[in-house]
Structure 1
Amino acid sequence: MCVTVVKKVHNIRNRPYAGAMNEDPSPGLRPQSLMLTFLGNYVLRRDIAVFSGSFVELFAGLGVGEHALRSTLTRMTGRGLLARHRQGRRMHFGLTGRSERILLDGEARVWRRGAVNEDWDGQWTVLSFSMPESWQRQRHDLRSRLMWAGFGPLGNGTWIAPSKVDLGPVLASVEGLDPGRHVRVFHGSAGAPTDVTQMIRDAFDLDGLAAGYQEFLDRWDRPDPIPKAPHDLARYLWMMTEWLQLVGVDPRLPVQHLPDDWPAVRAQKVLHELRERYDAPAREIADRLVEFIPVAKAAAGD
């Protein structure tokens, strides 16, 4: 049952682009996901708030209408991901402490850790949990947090991750959970007669992960990706949003225990090559389109 949950999460987060099936070049990505990508690339570390009209103009080029864009701003503000800053009659939106933490984590996953684990030290984190039957919501929340942290289920409340994971933030985010009573955590290497390659296949959805990276390659590993895109900023934001969704469900499994043609290897190379192509022109377009005001740095506890 837990394996099915992993597969469902992957499929939801890696829907194919709408533009791959019709003449509309706009990918079928959620406005909030695109917004987080934009904020992570062009607002993070700048202590600015962006004029709402700039978002409307910019996101129109990404295939997001004004009503959907303004609804996204409202929802993200309500969830503590954006802060409103009024100047005269104009409304601007900046980061909060919460959104900064999310964006920094995404940045680390993409550019520091990457999707390919070529230097695994053989260490695992093993977690088991036991909760009352009535705690359905807490179990669901914990499973979701564990998948985001790179864990896969072995069954009977036992989960594994191919690294030493700091579980403090994961466990603290599950409301009502008392880790000392409900959770047990161990670190170490696998011993005989464990077949590590088979264990990985049992705990993680390799087929689903591979399919996501192959879809990425089908769209981006070509001389002129998405030729009907309005500009390189749109291409860059679409590409980075899709990649963030991929690494968000990728546990960075040791490459020596994966198939020889594991598509994440080529996909990550393509990502870096296209970043070199798109980054400068995309930033120039963003600087031209975005009006902003300086604001005080978001408080860490926001």
Structure 2
Amino acid sequence: MRHPEEVYAEESVDTVRLPRAQAGSSPQHLLVTLLGEYLDSSDADLPSTAVIAMLREFGISESSARAALSRLVKRGLIARRGDARPPVYHLTPQAIAKHRARMQHFLNFGARPPQWTGAWVLVSFSIPSSGQALRHAVRRSLNALRFAGLYDSVWIRPGSDAAVVRQALDELLQHVEDARWSVMHVRFDEESGPHGPASAYDLATLAAGYSRFVKRYADLREAARNGKVDPVAALVARTSAMDSWRKFADSDPDLPQHLLPQPWPRQQARDTFLDIHTALGALAQARLVEVVTPYWPDAVSWVTHFRASSDPARPEPVRATSTGPPSQAGPDRSSH
């Protein structure tokens, strides 16, 4: 497999180094990303050989691809259909629903400012000194729910929805002797002051991450807008951009504007991501169809791609009808 940089250099007057797929992504995670981006039906029969070919584009070995398939079966995201050899899989309806929700979250994140009421959910807990491992488990759970530590055992999150954190704390602590916790709805007298809720967040590091994203993908964005990325490069580069952006969508607390340092670079990063994701969508889809069709003749009927529907000025993607450029007819899906 050629790296996208090599493919692009053949077609460009100026040499531009396109980002490779994000380092550190496991084959399992990469497969979930690809299935979420390009497959949207539990009726599609997906041969294991097609999955192996798909992951080969990213330098993943056959053994690692098979291991990723096995793990997704155990997680209930895909299921085997019948006893065919080589094996044939399909996405479960639960996986389809999860993929759609995640794609909507990634693509719509940052589209509009949060509706701010001044409400925060605050969690305070006390665990016996002997419960260090449990204390770490509680903190991990709160982090996963996008809470931030205001003080050692005081955690906050913007908004008013406390149901999920109540359930998490009940499951972790209800049988722990001498453990105590409280979940409260609060408002801060000085939201933007040095002792207010913004101090719980490392906003400087988050802003630097957005700025790095813009710089890292600037050349790819320009190349994509000018039609100078071919399908081989598009599939890998578009996946890299999504893999990088989703980390922001999962970690940015989405604070109201008055709590953010100015200028705040998220919009520039989002525009960069959406330009790449939209411009390369049909090309990446066509490349994926080309890669898997020798193992999955019906691929053209099932492979598709997402776009951000919150940006109506962006062109609608369409299904590919061959291994060349996508046609201008046929339905597609978008996030809503």
The interval holding the TM-score normalised by the smaller chain is 0.7 to 0.9
- Equivalent residues in 2 for 1:161-200, closer than 5 Å: 161-168=157-164, 171-172=167-168, 175-178=171-174, 182-192=180-190, 195-196=192-193, 199-200=196-197
Name stretches of at least 5 consecutive residues in structure 1 with no aligned partner. 1-18, 295-302
* CA–CA separation in structure 2 for the residues paired with 1:90 and 1:102: 27
Confirm or deny: 8 A CA contact 2:230 2:283 kept in the other structure. Answer: no
Aligned-pair CA distance for 1:26 = 4.2
1:214 equivalent to 2:216? Answer no
Aligned to 1:204: 201
Deviation at 1:149, TM superposition (A): 2.4
- Equivalent residue, structure 2, for 1:40: 36
RMSD across aligned C-alpha pairs, in angstroms? 3.5
- SS of 1:90 mapped into structure 2: coil
> Partner letter of residue 105 of structure 2?
R
Match of 1:245 among 244, 247, 258: 247
For 2:81, the equivalent position in structure 1 comes to 85
Structure showing greater Rg:
2
Deviation of residue 79 (structure 1)? 3.7
Deviation at 1:203, TM superposition (A): 0.9
* 1:93-135 Cα shifts (integer Å, max 9, x gaps): 3334664564344224223443764543322111122334444
1:228 Cα offset (Å): 9.3
What residue number does 2:273 align with?
271
SS at match of 1:231: helix
* TM-score (ref. length: structure 1): 0.74
CA offsets 1:7-56 (integer angstroms, 9 cap, x no match): xxxxxxxxxxxx9xx99944314123222211212234544352221121
SS of the residue corresponding to residue 230 of structure 1 reads: helix
Equivalent of residue 53 in structure 2, options 57, 61, 72? 57
> What do residues 132-183 of structure 1 show as CA deviations (whole Å, max 9, x unaligned)?
4444444333322322322110123111112223432773498543399743
Check 1:214–1:24 CA distance in 2 against 1; reply closer, same or farther (3 A cut): closer
C-alpha contact 2:210 2:266 (8 A) present in aligned 1: yes
Letter in 2 for 1:206: L
Tell me: CA distance 1:114–1:191, structure 2 relative to 1, closer, same or farther (3 Å): same
Counterpart CA distance in 1 for 2:275 and 2:217 is 10
- The alpha-carbon distance between structure 1 residues 286 and 105, as it changes in their structure 2 partners (threshold 3 A), is same
Q: Give the drift of 1:88.
A: 1.6
Residue 87 and residue 241 in structure 1: after superposition, are their counterparts in 2 closer, same or farther (change >3 A)?
farther
Q: Partner of 2:22 in structure 1?
A: 27
CA distance in 1, matches of 2:265, 2:37: 25
Q: Which letter maps to 2:269?
A: A
- In structure 2, the residue matched to 1:224 is 223
Matched, 1:130 2:126: yes
Q: Aligned residue pairs: how many? A: 273
- The one-letter amino acid of 2:204's match is D
* Higher helix content, 1 or 2: 1
CA contact (8 A) 2:114 2:256 kept: yes
TM-score under structure 2 normalisation?
A: 0.68
In the alignment, structure 2 segments of 5+ residues that lack a partner are 6-16, 302-336
What percentage of aligned pairs have identical amino acids?
26
Q: Is the 2:234–2:280 Cα contact (8 Å) retained in structure 1?
A: yes
